[in-house]
Chain A
Protein backbone atom coordinates (compact mmCIF):
# COMPACT_ATOMS: atom_id res chain seq x y z
CA UNK A 1 0.00 0.00 0.00
CA UNK A 2 1.33 3.44 -0.94
CA UNK A 3 -0.25 5.09 2.10
CA UNK A 4 0.32 3.18 5.35
CA UNK A 5 -0.85 6.07 7.52
CA UNK A 6 -3.71 8.42 6.65
CA UNK A 7 -4.66 11.65 8.35
CA UNK A 8 -8.38 11.97 9.07
CA UNK A 9 -10.74 14.39 10.74
CA UNK A 10 -14.23 14.09 12.20
CA UNK A 11 -16.79 16.61 13.40
CA UNK A 12 -18.95 14.51 15.72
CA UNK A 13 -18.73 11.33 17.80
CA UNK A 14 -21.10 8.63 19.01
CA UNK A 15 -20.92 5.36 20.87
CA UNK A 16 -22.91 2.29 19.87
CA UNK A 17 -23.13 0.99 23.44
CA UNK A 18 -23.69 3.77 25.97
CA UNK A 19 -27.06 4.51 27.56
CA UNK A 20 -26.51 7.98 29.02
CA UNK A 21 -28.82 10.70 27.58
CA UNK A 22 -25.92 12.18 25.61
CA UNK A 23 -24.92 8.74 24.25
CA UNK A 24 -28.51 8.00 23.18
CA UNK A 25 -28.81 11.43 21.57
CA UNK A 26 -25.57 10.89 19.66
CA UNK A 27 -26.78 7.47 18.49
CA UNK A 28 -30.04 9.00 17.25
CA UNK A 29 -27.96 11.59 15.47
CA UNK A 30 -25.88 8.89 13.78
CA UNK A 31 -29.05 7.12 12.54
CA UNK A 32 -30.46 10.43 11.32
CA UNK A 33 -27.20 11.15 9.50
CA UNK A 34 -27.21 7.73 7.81
CA UNK A 35 -30.78 8.34 6.64
CA UNK A 36 -30.26 11.98 5.58
CA UNK A 37 -32.99 13.15 7.93
CA UNK A 38 -33.47 16.66 9.26
CA UNK A 39 -32.02 18.61 12.13
CA UNK A 40 -33.30 21.69 13.92
CA UNK A 41 -30.88 24.15 15.40
CA UNK A 42 -32.69 25.50 18.50
CA UNK A 43 -30.86 28.83 18.35
CA UNK A 44 -32.02 29.62 14.81
CA UNK A 45 -35.09 27.29 14.70
CA UNK A 46 -33.94 26.40 11.18
CA UNK A 47 -34.77 22.87 9.98
CA UNK A 48 -32.18 21.60 7.49
CA UNK A 49 -31.03 18.33 5.99
CA UNK A 50 -28.35 16.62 8.01
CA UNK A 51 -25.75 16.91 5.21
CA UNK A 52 -26.37 20.65 4.99
CA UNK A 53 -26.13 21.00 8.76
CA UNK A 54 -22.74 19.22 8.77
CA UNK A 55 -21.41 21.50 6.01
CA UNK A 56 -22.78 24.69 7.58
CA UNK A 57 -21.44 23.76 11.00
CA UNK A 58 -17.96 23.31 9.51
CA UNK A 59 -18.24 26.65 7.79
CA UNK A 60 -19.54 28.39 10.94
CA UNK A 61 -16.86 26.94 13.24
CA UNK A 62 -14.06 26.89 10.70
CA UNK A 63 -11.81 29.29 12.56
CA UNK A 64 -11.66 27.06 15.62
CA UNK A 65 -11.79 23.59 14.04
CA UNK A 66 -8.54 21.59 14.16
CA UNK A 67 -9.17 20.46 10.57
CA UNK A 68 -10.05 23.77 8.91
CA UNK A 69 -7.20 23.30 6.39
CA UNK A 70 -8.99 20.21 4.98
CA UNK A 71 -11.59 22.36 3.27
CA UNK A 72 -10.26 24.83 0.72
CA UNK A 73 -12.11 26.06 -2.39
CA UNK A 74 -9.94 23.92 -4.68
CA UNK A 75 -9.85 20.79 -2.54
CA UNK A 76 -11.23 17.80 -4.45
CA UNK A 77 -13.88 16.08 -2.33
CA UNK A 78 -14.25 12.40 -3.19
CA UNK A 79 -17.32 10.69 -1.66
CA UNK A 80 -16.52 7.27 -0.22
CA UNK A 81 -18.52 4.40 -1.75
CA UNK A 82 -20.87 2.31 0.41
CA UNK A 83 -19.75 -1.19 1.34
CA UNK A 84 -22.44 -2.58 -0.97
CA UNK A 85 -23.07 -2.11 -4.65
CA UNK A 86 -25.40 0.75 -5.45
CA UNK A 87 -28.14 1.27 -8.05
CA UNK A 88 -28.76 4.72 -9.58
CA UNK A 89 -30.85 7.12 -7.45
CA UNK A 90 -29.84 5.41 -4.23
CA UNK A 91 -29.29 7.55 -1.15
CA UNK A 92 -25.52 8.03 -0.91
CA UNK A 93 -24.84 10.05 2.22
CA UNK A 94 -21.10 10.77 1.65
CA UNK A 95 -22.04 12.21 -1.76
CA UNK A 96 -24.67 14.41 -0.13
CA UNK A 97 -22.20 15.66 2.50
CA UNK A 98 -19.55 16.36 -0.16
CA UNK A 99 -22.12 18.20 -2.30
CA UNK A 100 -23.28 20.27 0.68
CA UNK A 101 -19.66 21.24 1.40
CA UNK A 102 -19.06 22.17 -2.24
CA UNK A 103 -22.22 24.29 -2.38
CA UNK A 104 -20.78 26.63 0.26
CA UNK A 105 -17.35 26.79 -1.33
CA UNK A 106 -15.54 24.22 0.79
CA UNK A 107 -14.28 22.13 -2.11
CA UNK A 108 -15.24 20.56 -5.43
CA UNK A 109 -16.95 17.17 -5.69
CA UNK A 110 -15.50 14.41 -7.81
CA UNK A 111 -17.36 11.09 -7.39
CA UNK A 112 -14.58 9.07 -8.99
CA UNK A 113 -14.51 6.03 -6.68
CA UNK A 114 -16.84 3.10 -7.37
CA UNK A 115 -17.41 -0.12 -5.46
CA UNK A 116 -17.16 -2.98 -7.95
CA UNK A 117 -17.61 -5.82 -5.47
CA UNK A 118 -19.56 -5.63 -2.23
CA UNK A 119 -17.75 -6.21 1.07
CA UNK A 120 -19.32 -7.08 4.44
CA UNK A 121 -20.71 -4.12 6.38
CA UNK A 122 -18.30 -3.36 9.22
CA UNK A 123 -21.12 -2.27 11.54
CA UNK A 124 -22.96 -5.60 11.27
CA UNK A 125 -19.94 -7.92 11.15
CA UNK A 126 -17.96 -9.57 13.89
CA UNK A 127 -14.52 -7.92 14.28
CA UNK A 128 -12.81 -10.93 12.64
CA UNK A 129 -15.12 -10.69 9.60
CA UNK A 130 -14.71 -6.98 8.99
CA UNK A 131 -13.00 -6.18 5.70
CA UNK A 132 -9.39 -5.05 5.87
CA UNK A 133 -8.02 -2.03 4.00
CA UNK A 134 -6.59 -4.44 1.42
CA UNK A 135 -10.03 -5.95 0.81
CA UNK A 136 -11.54 -2.49 0.41
CA UNK A 137 -8.72 -1.54 -1.94
CA UNK A 138 -9.38 -4.58 -4.15
CA UNK A 139 -13.13 -3.90 -4.29
CA UNK A 140 -12.81 -0.27 -5.45
CA UNK A 141 -12.12 1.32 -8.81
CA UNK A 142 -11.20 4.86 -9.86
CA UNK A 143 -13.32 6.13 -12.75
CA UNK A 144 -12.65 9.13 -14.93
CA UNK A 145 -9.55 11.21 -15.14
CA UNK A 146 -8.36 14.25 -13.30
CA UNK A 147 -5.25 16.30 -13.95
CA UNK A 148 -3.02 16.24 -10.90
CA UNK A 149 -5.13 17.75 -8.11
CA UNK A 150 -3.12 19.29 -5.28
CA UNK A 151 -5.30 17.86 -2.58
CA UNK A 152 -8.02 15.22 -2.25
CA UNK A 153 -10.21 14.80 0.82
CA UNK A 154 -12.16 11.56 1.00
CA UNK A 155 -15.58 12.25 2.51
CA UNK A 156 -17.48 9.63 4.50
CA UNK A 157 -20.47 9.64 6.85
CA UNK A 158 -19.12 7.38 9.62
CA UNK A 159 -15.63 6.24 10.53
CA UNK A 160 -15.24 3.15 12.71
CA UNK A 161 -11.80 1.57 12.32
CA UNK A 162 -10.92 3.52 9.21
CA UNK A 163 -10.41 0.48 6.96
CA UNK A 164 -12.68 1.81 4.24
CA UNK A 165 -10.93 5.17 4.16
CA UNK A 166 -7.44 3.66 4.17
CA UNK A 167 -8.33 1.23 1.36
CA UNK A 168 -9.98 4.02 -0.62
CA UNK A 169 -7.06 6.42 -0.09
CA UNK A 170 -4.65 3.82 -1.43
CA UNK A 171 -6.81 3.20 -4.47
CA UNK A 172 -6.81 6.95 -5.16
CA UNK A 173 -3.06 7.15 -4.56
CA UNK A 174 -2.51 4.75 -7.47
CA UNK A 175 -4.34 7.13 -9.80
CA UNK A 176 -2.98 10.36 -8.27
CA UNK A 177 0.48 9.54 -6.90
CA UNK A 178 1.52 13.18 -6.50
CA UNK A 179 -1.61 14.29 -4.66
CA UNK A 180 -1.94 14.82 -0.93
CA UNK A 181 -4.80 12.63 0.29
CA UNK A 182 -6.62 13.08 3.59
CA UNK A 183 -10.02 11.99 4.88
CA UNK A 184 -13.05 13.44 6.66
CA UNK A 185 -15.95 11.63 8.33
CA UNK A 186 -18.96 13.44 9.75
CA UNK A 187 -19.14 11.17 12.79
CA UNK A 188 -16.59 9.01 14.57
CA UNK A 189 -17.49 5.76 16.36
CA UNK A 190 -16.19 5.40 19.92
CA UNK A 191 -16.49 1.73 20.87
CA UNK A 192 -15.91 2.17 24.60
CA UNK A 193 -18.82 4.15 26.06
CA UNK A 194 -16.54 5.23 28.91
CA UNK A 195 -14.46 7.18 26.40
CA UNK A 196 -17.46 8.92 24.85
CA UNK A 197 -17.80 12.56 25.87
CA UNK A 198 -20.29 14.33 23.63
CA UNK A 199 -21.75 14.48 20.13
CA UNK A 200 -19.94 17.61 19.01
CA UNK A 201 -16.33 16.54 19.30
CA UNK A 202 -14.16 17.81 16.41
CA UNK A 203 -10.89 15.94 16.10
CA UNK A 204 -7.96 15.27 13.84
CA UNK A 205 -6.12 11.96 13.91
CA UNK A 206 -4.60 9.08 11.99
CA UNK A 207 -5.50 5.68 10.59
CA UNK A 208 -2.49 3.39 10.48
CA UNK A 209 -2.05 0.04 8.76
CA UNK A 210 -0.85 -2.61 11.20
CA UNK A 211 1.29 -5.61 10.35
CA UNK A 212 -1.74 -7.82 10.86
CA UNK A 213 -3.40 -6.05 7.92
CA UNK A 214 -5.87 -4.42 10.29
CA UNK A 215 -5.98 -0.72 11.21
CA UNK A 216 -5.25 1.40 14.25
CA UNK A 217 -7.28 4.59 14.46
CA UNK A 218 -6.20 7.40 16.78
CA UNK A 219 -8.20 8.92 18.39
Chain B
Protein backbone atom coordinates (compact mmCIF):
# COMPACT_ATOMS: atom_id res chain seq x y z
CA UNK B 1 0.00 0.00 0.00
CA UNK B 2 1.10 3.56 -0.53
CA UNK B 3 -0.25 7.05 -0.21
CA UNK B 4 -0.41 9.46 -3.11
CA UNK B 5 -1.71 12.96 -2.47
CA UNK B 6 -3.56 11.58 0.54
CA UNK B 7 -5.22 8.87 -1.56
CA UNK B 8 -4.74 5.26 -0.51
CA UNK B 9 -3.59 2.82 -3.19
CA UNK B 10 -3.38 -0.97 -3.04
CA UNK B 11 -1.45 -3.61 -4.92
CA UNK B 12 -3.24 -6.65 -6.38
CA UNK B 13 -2.87 -9.27 -9.04
CA UNK B 14 -5.47 -9.55 -11.77
CA UNK B 15 -7.09 -12.66 -10.30
CA UNK B 16 -7.77 -10.73 -7.09
CA UNK B 17 -9.81 -8.30 -9.18
CA UNK B 18 -11.45 -10.61 -11.68
CA UNK B 19 -11.25 -14.15 -10.33
CA UNK B 20 -9.61 -17.03 -12.23
CA UNK B 21 -8.58 -16.47 -15.85
CA UNK B 22 -8.66 -18.83 -18.81
CA UNK B 23 -5.56 -19.30 -20.99
CA UNK B 24 -6.65 -16.79 -23.61
CA UNK B 25 -7.15 -14.17 -20.90
CA UNK B 26 -3.82 -14.95 -19.26
CA UNK B 27 -1.84 -14.16 -22.41
CA UNK B 28 -1.49 -10.39 -21.85
CA UNK B 29 -2.63 -10.23 -18.22
CA UNK B 30 -0.34 -7.99 -16.15
CA UNK B 31 1.17 -9.55 -13.04
CA UNK B 32 0.49 -6.60 -10.72
CA UNK B 33 -2.15 -3.94 -10.61
CA UNK B 34 -2.29 -0.74 -8.58
CA UNK B 35 -5.73 0.29 -7.52
CA UNK B 36 -7.35 3.20 -5.74
CA UNK B 37 -10.99 3.74 -4.89
CA UNK B 38 -14.07 2.50 -3.13
CA UNK B 39 -15.38 -0.27 -5.39
CA UNK B 40 -15.10 -3.70 -3.80
CA UNK B 41 -12.45 -6.24 -4.81
CA UNK B 42 -13.14 -8.65 -6.55
CA UNK B 43 -14.83 -6.24 -8.90
CA UNK B 44 -18.62 -6.38 -9.10
CA UNK B 45 -20.31 -7.19 -12.45
CA UNK B 46 -21.37 -6.34 -15.07
CA UNK B 47 -18.77 -3.98 -16.50
CA UNK B 48 -18.81 -2.37 -19.94
CA UNK B 49 -16.17 -0.18 -21.55
CA UNK B 50 -17.26 2.94 -23.43
CA UNK B 51 -14.33 4.18 -25.48
CA UNK B 52 -13.40 6.28 -28.48
CA UNK B 53 -11.64 9.33 -29.86
CA UNK B 54 -9.92 11.98 -27.84
CA UNK B 55 -10.92 14.58 -30.43
CA UNK B 56 -14.54 13.52 -30.53
CA UNK B 57 -17.32 15.31 -32.41
CA UNK B 58 -20.23 16.87 -30.48
CA UNK B 59 -22.40 13.97 -31.71
CA UNK B 60 -19.85 11.44 -30.45
CA UNK B 61 -19.73 13.06 -27.02
CA UNK B 62 -23.52 13.11 -26.90
CA UNK B 63 -23.68 9.42 -27.88
CA UNK B 64 -21.10 8.47 -25.23
CA UNK B 65 -23.13 10.32 -22.63
CA UNK B 66 -26.38 8.67 -23.75
CA UNK B 67 -24.85 5.18 -23.67
CA UNK B 68 -23.25 5.77 -20.26
CA UNK B 69 -26.48 7.15 -18.84
CA UNK B 70 -28.51 4.19 -20.10
CA UNK B 71 -26.07 1.59 -18.80
CA UNK B 72 -25.41 3.33 -15.45
CA UNK B 73 -29.16 3.42 -14.77
CA UNK B 74 -29.24 -0.35 -15.31
CA UNK B 75 -26.46 -0.88 -12.78
CA UNK B 76 -23.68 -1.50 -15.28
CA UNK B 77 -20.24 -0.31 -14.17
CA UNK B 78 -18.85 1.95 -16.89
CA UNK B 79 -15.19 1.39 -17.68
CA UNK B 80 -13.09 3.86 -19.66
CA UNK B 81 -9.58 5.22 -20.01
CA UNK B 82 -9.81 8.76 -18.57
CA UNK B 83 -8.67 10.23 -21.88
CA UNK B 84 -10.12 13.40 -23.36
CA UNK B 85 -13.27 13.17 -25.44
CA UNK B 86 -15.38 9.99 -25.36
CA UNK B 87 -13.71 8.60 -22.21
CA UNK B 88 -14.28 11.78 -20.23
CA UNK B 89 -17.91 11.99 -21.36
CA UNK B 90 -18.51 8.36 -20.30
CA UNK B 91 -16.94 8.80 -16.85
CA UNK B 92 -18.58 12.16 -16.12
CA UNK B 93 -22.06 11.07 -17.18
CA UNK B 94 -21.84 7.89 -15.11
CA UNK B 95 -20.85 9.89 -12.02
CA UNK B 96 -23.63 12.44 -12.64
CA UNK B 97 -26.15 9.60 -12.91
CA UNK B 98 -25.05 8.14 -9.57
CA UNK B 99 -23.51 5.08 -11.23
CA UNK B 100 -20.11 3.48 -10.74
CA UNK B 101 -17.14 3.93 -13.00
CA UNK B 102 -13.67 2.44 -13.40
CA UNK B 103 -10.79 4.36 -15.00
CA UNK B 104 -8.03 2.20 -16.46
CA UNK B 105 -5.02 4.50 -16.67
CA UNK B 106 -2.19 4.61 -19.17
CA UNK B 107 -0.06 6.26 -16.49
CA UNK B 108 0.82 5.25 -12.94
CA UNK B 109 -1.70 6.28 -10.28
CA UNK B 110 0.47 9.19 -9.10
CA UNK B 111 0.31 10.87 -12.52
CA UNK B 112 -2.51 12.44 -14.49
CA UNK B 113 -2.97 12.46 -18.24
CA UNK B 114 -4.44 14.65 -19.55
CA UNK B 115 -3.78 17.23 -16.85
CA UNK B 116 -7.23 18.76 -17.36
CA UNK B 117 -8.75 15.54 -15.95
CA UNK B 118 -6.94 15.79 -12.61
CA UNK B 119 -10.12 16.55 -10.66
CA UNK B 120 -12.02 13.75 -12.44
CA UNK B 121 -9.19 11.31 -11.67
CA UNK B 122 -9.21 12.38 -8.02
CA UNK B 123 -12.96 11.85 -7.73
CA UNK B 124 -12.62 8.41 -9.34
CA UNK B 125 -9.69 7.47 -7.08
CA UNK B 126 -11.67 8.46 -4.02
CA UNK B 127 -15.19 7.27 -4.78
CA UNK B 128 -15.07 4.88 -7.74
CA UNK B 129 -11.98 2.97 -8.91
CA UNK B 130 -8.79 3.76 -10.82
CA UNK B 131 -6.58 0.90 -12.00
CA UNK B 132 -3.06 1.06 -13.39
CA UNK B 133 -0.56 -1.64 -14.27
CA UNK B 134 2.29 0.84 -13.98
CA UNK B 135 4.02 1.31 -10.59
CA UNK B 136 4.54 4.72 -9.04
CA UNK B 137 7.07 6.77 -10.94
CA UNK B 138 6.84 4.64 -14.10
CA UNK B 139 7.69 6.82 -17.11
CA UNK B 140 4.68 7.78 -19.22
CA UNK B 141 5.18 6.53 -22.78
CA UNK B 142 2.91 6.25 -25.77
CA UNK B 143 3.07 2.44 -25.78
CA UNK B 144 1.65 2.36 -22.23
CA UNK B 145 -1.70 3.43 -23.60
CA UNK B 146 -1.82 0.50 -26.03
CA UNK B 147 -0.99 -1.90 -23.20
CA UNK B 148 -3.63 -0.18 -21.08
CA UNK B 149 -6.23 -0.77 -23.80
CA UNK B 150 -5.61 -4.54 -23.62
CA UNK B 151 -6.14 -4.44 -19.87
CA UNK B 152 -9.33 -2.46 -20.31
CA UNK B 153 -10.67 -5.11 -22.71
CA UNK B 154 -9.85 -7.79 -20.14
CA UNK B 155 -11.55 -5.98 -17.27
CA UNK B 156 -14.71 -5.29 -19.31
CA UNK B 157 -17.42 -7.86 -20.01
CA UNK B 158 -18.15 -5.95 -23.24
CA UNK B 159 -16.67 -2.94 -25.08
CA UNK B 160 -18.41 -0.22 -27.10
CA UNK B 161 -16.50 1.95 -29.58
CA UNK B 162 -18.50 5.16 -29.89
CA UNK B 163 -16.37 7.08 -32.39
CA UNK B 164 -12.89 6.33 -33.68
CA UNK B 165 -10.68 7.19 -36.64
CA UNK B 166 -8.49 4.77 -38.51
CA UNK B 167 -5.56 5.22 -36.12
CA UNK B 168 -7.46 5.47 -32.84
CA UNK B 169 -6.04 3.60 -29.84
CA UNK B 170 -9.56 2.29 -29.22
CA UNK B 171 -9.05 -0.11 -32.11
CA UNK B 172 -6.41 -1.97 -30.07
CA UNK B 173 -9.03 -2.55 -27.43
CA UNK B 174 -11.56 -3.64 -30.04
CA UNK B 175 -9.23 -6.30 -31.45
CA UNK B 176 -8.32 -7.51 -27.98
CA UNK B 177 -12.00 -7.80 -27.00
CA UNK B 178 -12.59 -9.94 -30.10
CA UNK B 179 -9.57 -12.11 -29.27
CA UNK B 180 -10.94 -12.65 -25.77
CA UNK B 181 -14.31 -13.65 -27.20
CA UNK B 182 -16.00 -10.69 -25.49
CA UNK B 183 -18.81 -8.78 -27.20
CA UNK B 184 -17.54 -5.76 -29.14
CA UNK B 185 -20.07 -3.16 -30.24
CA UNK B 186 -19.61 -0.39 -32.82
CA UNK B 187 -21.95 2.54 -32.32
CA UNK B 188 -24.22 2.78 -35.37
CA UNK B 189 -23.27 6.31 -36.43
CA UNK B 190 -19.70 5.17 -37.14
CA UNK B 191 -21.09 3.04 -39.96
CA UNK B 192 -22.22 6.20 -41.78
CA UNK B 193 -18.69 7.59 -41.88
CA UNK B 194 -17.22 6.38 -45.17
CA UNK B 195 -13.73 7.65 -44.31
CA UNK B 196 -13.18 4.99 -41.65
CA UNK B 197 -12.20 1.58 -42.96
CA UNK B 198 -11.87 -0.46 -39.75
CA UNK B 199 -15.56 -1.17 -38.93
CA UNK B 200 -16.13 -3.53 -41.86
CA UNK B 201 -13.08 -5.58 -40.92
CA UNK B 202 -14.09 -5.75 -37.27
CA UNK B 203 -17.61 -6.81 -38.24
CA UNK B 204 -16.10 -9.65 -40.27
CA UNK B 205 -14.27 -10.74 -37.13
CA UNK B 206 -17.34 -10.71 -34.91
CA UNK B 207 -18.10 -7.12 -33.84
CA UNK B 208 -21.75 -6.03 -33.74
CA UNK B 209 -23.42 -2.74 -34.65
CA UNK B 210 -25.15 -1.11 -31.68
CA UNK B 211 -28.18 1.15 -32.12
CA UNK B 212 -29.78 0.84 -28.69
CA UNK B 213 -27.52 0.71 -25.60
CA UNK B 214 -29.98 -1.63 -23.87
CA UNK B 215 -29.06 -4.35 -26.41
CA UNK B 216 -25.75 -4.64 -24.57
CA UNK B 217 -27.55 -5.94 -21.48
CA UNK B 218 -28.43 -9.23 -23.21
CA UNK B 219 -24.73 -9.99 -23.52
CA UNK B 220 -23.66 -9.20 -19.97
CA UNK B 221 -23.28 -11.67 -17.10
CA UNK B 222 -25.18 -11.01 -13.91
CA UNK B 223 -22.72 -12.96 -11.79
CA UNK B 224 -19.00 -13.12 -11.03
CA UNK B 225 -16.58 -15.32 -12.89
CA UNK B 226 -17.34 -18.48 -10.93
CA UNK B 227 -20.84 -19.82 -11.45
CA UNK B 228 -22.30 -22.40 -9.09
CA UNK B 229 -24.18 -25.27 -10.62
CA UNK B 230 -25.84 -28.40 -9.35
CA UNK B 231 -27.28 -30.37 -12.26
Contacts and interface: CB of A to CB of B under 8 A. Distances in A.
Interface of A: 16, 24, 28-29, 31-32, 34-43, 47, 49, 53, 57, 82-87, 89-93, 118, 121, 124, 199-200
Nearest to B220: A31
- Of the listed residues A16, A53, A57, A85, the one surrounded by the most CB atoms of chain B closer than 10 A to its CB is A85
Interface stretch (B119-127, B162-170, B179-187): B179-187
A149 to B, nearest CB: 28
A39 B228 contact: yes
Given A82-B206, A87-B205, A89-B179, A43 B230 contact: yes
B14 to A, nearest CB: 14
Interface string B99-137: 000000000000000000000000000000000000000
Interface residues of B, number: 29
A91 B206 contact: no
Instruction: Summarize B's interface: helix, strand, loop or mixed.
Output: loop
A93 B27 contact: no
B227 A37 contact: yes
Given A16-B218, A29-B229, A84-B206, 4 more contacts: A37-B227, A85-B206, A86-B206, A87-B175
Given A90-B24, A91-B22, A85 B205 contact: yes
Given A31-B219, A91-B24, A124-B208, A38 B227 contact: yes
A38 B224 CA distance: 9
- Of the listed residues B24, B181, B203, B230, the one surrounded by the most CB atoms of chain A closer than 10 A to its CB is B181
12 contacts: A31-B221, A32-B227, A38-B225, A38-B227, A82-B206, A85-B204, A85-B206, A89-B24, A89-B27, A89-B179, A91-B180, A118-B206
B24 A40 contact: no
B204 A118 contact: yes
3 shortest A-B CB distances, which residue pairs? A91-B181, A200-B231, A84-B206
A29 B20 CA distance: 16
Interface in B173-202: 175, 178-182
Interface in B143-182: 175, 178-182
